[in-house]
Structure 1
Amino acid sequence: MYTMIGGPRSRAFRVIWMLEELGLDYKHVLAAPRSDEVTAHYPVGKLPVLLEDDTVLTDSVAIMTYLADKHGALTCAAGTLERAQQDGHTQFLNDELDALLWMAAKHSFVLPEEHRIAEVKDSLKWEYARSLERLEARIGDGPYLMGDQMTLADMLAAHCCRWAANAKFPEPTPAVQGYLERLTSRPAYLRALKTQ
């Protein structure tokens, strides 16, 4: 049994979706960043936190990778060239989508007001639009980043694009939009949405 701590309007959604895709039993503790429920396990207060027995796991992509490897699904096998390609997609998404969105969030509401620079968001949106073009090239003939196999990298891409839409970032190209629709129509994705 896993205990998933975090609200689905955060990076915790990725892990909730992963748990649903894998069909795993889990307890969901709805909690906000820096709340007592979170800091009791992770003093930094960031989401998500996954508990397995007495072990605390943090960082959404690390948790997703662990779950995929442990349960042998939504990933390519470790030590293979395919896994190296999948990890390349994952790192690209972390660097080129997630990082831009997180920087925009920090300058919108995370940082103390005196440290926010609102003007930075324009350049982040420009860079994000360029990254969407690179994402389209990576999808290629698809339907997923790894061809016919959906992996955690696709889940990360879908979550980032959903986050971007909520943050009023540039809309995806039609090809990327079709890719996102394939992902966000999955039953596990729709179940994860209901945890909000």
Structure 2
Amino acid sequence: MYTVIGTVKTRAARVIWMLEELQQPYEHIPARPRSPGVTAVNVAGKVPVLVEDGTPITDSTAIIQYLADKHGALTHPAGTLDRARQDSLTQFLLDEFDAALWMAARHSFVLPEEMRLAGVKNTLRWEFERSQRTLAHRMGEGPFLMGDTMTVPDIILTHCGDWALAARFPIIEPKLSDYLQRMRQRPAYRRMMARRDQEGQSAT
């Protein structure tokens, strides 16, 4: 059985959602970044961490792609043109969406206060909106990013959409708004969100 380390408020949500989609059993340890339970398996103190057979795997994208490859679901096979398109979408989302949101978080609460630049968030919002327009042209005609098949980048994009909402980064593309609403209806997504809600209740 897999062990997922990290609170659902972090990118660990991507890993939990993937495991729910795959219907794989797992143990969830909602440890915070840099807590002793995390540094014991990842010296950088970052989450999520997936532990399988005593071996830790770090980085949410590496983890969910590994799980997709291992279980032969939510991914196109390596060495195919569809997989190249899939990986291109994944990299685009990491570079243009995830990176902007993470930089905004760093200048909101992660960095020491004297190192934060409040004005940078206006630039990041502008870049985020421009990236949405580019993505709208790349989205397939089906319900998912690549058409009729849900793949790894769908999990990354939906998580970034939720993150953007929390960070007050507007979703300006109607096509993207409609897509996010569809993805949030998935039963596996709702199970992941239920874990996050339980996590929040236990913290109060």
TM-score interval (norm. to shorter) = over 0.9
Match of 1:165 in 2: 165
- SS of the aligned residue for 2:118 comes to coil
Please provide the CA RMSD for this pair.
0.8
- Counterpart of 1:79? 79
Structure 2: runs of 5+ lacking an equivalent:
197-204
Q: Which residue of 1 is the match for residue 33 of structure 2?
A: 33
Partner of 1:8 in structure 2? 8
Q: What is aligned with 2:20?
A: 20
Indicate the residue corresponding to 1:122 in structure 2: 122
Helix, strand or coil for the counterpart of 1:24?
coil
How many residues align structurally?
A: 196
For 1:189, the equivalent position in structure 2 comes to 189
Give the deviation of 1:144 after TM superposition: 1.4
Q: Do 2:140 and 2:146's aligned partners in 1 also have CA atoms closer than 8 Å?
A: no
Letter in 2 for 1:178: D
Deviations 1:4-55 (A, max 9, x none): 0001101110001000000000000011111111111001111100000111
Q: Which residue in 2 is equivalent to 1:47? A: 47
Q: Which residue type is aligned with residue 86 of structure 2?
A: Q
Alpha-carbon offset, residue 192 of structure 1:
0.5
C-alpha distance in structure 1 between counterparts of 2:126 and 2:74, whole Å: 31
Deviations 1:48-95 (A, max 9, x none): 000001111000000000000000000000110000000000000000
| Deviations 1:152-189, CA, capped at 9 Å, x for gaps | 10110000011001000022421111111111100000
Please name the residue that 1:88 is paired with.
Answer: 88
Q: CA deviation at 1:150?
A: 0.6
- Matched position secondary structure for 1:194: helix
Q: TM-score, normalised by structure 1?
A: 0.98
In structure 2, give the amino acid aligned to 1:13.
Answer: A
CA–CA separation in structure 2 for the residues paired with 1:75 and 1:33: 29
What is the identity, as a one-letter code, of the residue corresponding to 1:55?
T
Report the alpha carbon displacement of residue 140 of structure 1 after superposing the two structures with TM.
3.9
Residues 123-145 of structure 1, C-alpha deviations (whole Å, 9 max, x = no match): 00000001111121111423211
* TM value normalised by structure 2: 0.94
Structure 1 unpaired stretches of 5+: none
**Is 1:147–2:147 an aligned residue pair?**
yes
Task: Give the aligned partner of residue 66 of structure 2.
Answer: 66
Q: Identity of paired residues, percent?
A: 58
Match of 2:56 in 1: 56
Residue 100 (structure 1) shift = 0.3
